[in-house]
A and B are shown apart, each in its own frame.
Chain A
Amino acid sequence: MQAAAAHGHAAREVVWPQDPQFGRASAGKIAMWIFLVSDGLSFAGLLLAYGILRGESLVWRHPGEPELGIAFTAGLTFLLICSSVSMVFAYEAALHDQRKRAAVFLGLTALGGALFLLGQYNEYFGIFHPGLTKEGLVLGQSAYASTFYVITSFHGAHVFSGTLYILITLMRWLRGKATASQIELLGLFWHFVDLVWILVFTIVYLIPTG
């Protein structure tokens, strides 16, 4: 596969002309940023709705509903931060045409995404402990439960699609069909998922309910 790249079958980087407004940002990069801004506004809508519901409620967490596990979720947050670091290292390696190194870091990033999803499954349904659904946090039962599941699962859907995106790009990279610029676009999406989680973790998990 590396031989294919060495013999000129690899995808070639397109060098974008200098633009007075957007510099050398490619059309793909500008499109990705516009997509991320619109996606960010979707999350903003959900978080604003959460804030309004929580701010106006007399009782946010009803008796019998479990507290959210901060320590476990802090571990998941750390995992996403680590996967963001492995993503920037994958991009750095791709820029320097270190193909094997880039592939390893992309693989590690995908592993981080998969472990995050496993952690979220454990939090909802329980693998190592009962899980929130069995502890009394039921979707539709209260605003506390519904906003929690809607926001975190919307983010989880992004982690899932991001992990798939990484795996597809990894396959293309191994076949010499992906470029460093395409890995940068993938990185933008993945870091966005990390950035949103930083806000979700703070707003949904860390702000005290008492």
Chain B
Amino acid sequence: MTETPAQAAAHGTGSRARQYLTIFFVLFVLTVLEVGVAYVRGHKTEVVVVLFSLAAVKAACVALFFMHLKWETRVLRATVVVPLSLPVLYALVLITEAAWRRLAG
């Protein structure tokens, strides 16, 4: 595992400023893309899938790099990710069920 920002500072191995700026640039570009995609008309399912994918990448960037989850232990990462995956799973079940009802009805 790579050093946490605190360990990097303690060992004098420099700052993560460049990495933070890269993530900022990625978040900016993805936000612009999201807004562009939101104005696309006529392909609602595709638009929704792309928007959720872009949001998931942005959220992961913030959690991994700005919140330093990338440098935490596997147990701490699991403590955060597992409970928050449950509502996502529930949403997928609801979407599947709604789609099934529409197809059946």
Contacts and interface: CB of A to CB of B under 8 A. Distances in A.
Interface of A: 21-25, 30, 33-34, 36-37, 40-41, 44-45, 47-48, 51-52, 55-56, 70-71, 74, 77-78, 81-82, 84-85, 87-89, 91-92, 95-96, 180-181, 184, 187-188, 191-192, 194-195, 198-199, 201-203, 205-208, 210
Given A33-B80, A74-B31, A191-B66, A25 B73 contact: yes
Contact of B51 (A81, A194, A195, A206): A206
A37 B44 contact: no
A27 to B, nearest CB: 12
A193 to B, nearest CB: 10
A36 B76 CA distance: 13
Contact of A95 (B5, B27, B87, B98): B5
A195 B9 CA distance: 26
Nearest to B87: A44
Contacts of A82: 24
A96 B52 CA distance: 37
Contacts of B52: 202
Nearest to A32: B67
Contacts of B24: 81-82, 85
A81 B28 contact: yes
Q: Of A82, A181, A188, A198, which is in contact with the most chain B CB atoms at under 10 Å from its CB?
A: A198
Interface of B: 4-7, 9, 15-17, 20-21, 24, 27-28, 31, 34-35, 37-39, 41, 44, 47-48, 51-52, 54-55, 58-59, 62-63, 66-68, 72-73, 75-76, 79-80, 83-84, 87, 90-91, 94-95, 98
B35 A74 contact: yes
A55 B98 contact: yes
B62 A96 contact: no
B2 to A, nearest CB: 12
Contact of B91 (A22, A48, A194, A210): A48
A11 B96 CA distance: 53
A124 B54 CA distance: 27
Given A40-B84, A52-B94, A25 B16 contact: no
Contacts of A184: 6, 68
Contacts of B59: 195, 198-199
Nearest to A37: B83
A194 B62 contact: yes
Given A95-B5, A95-B6, A202-B54, A41 B87 contact: yes
A33 B48 CA distance: 30
Nearest to B9: A95
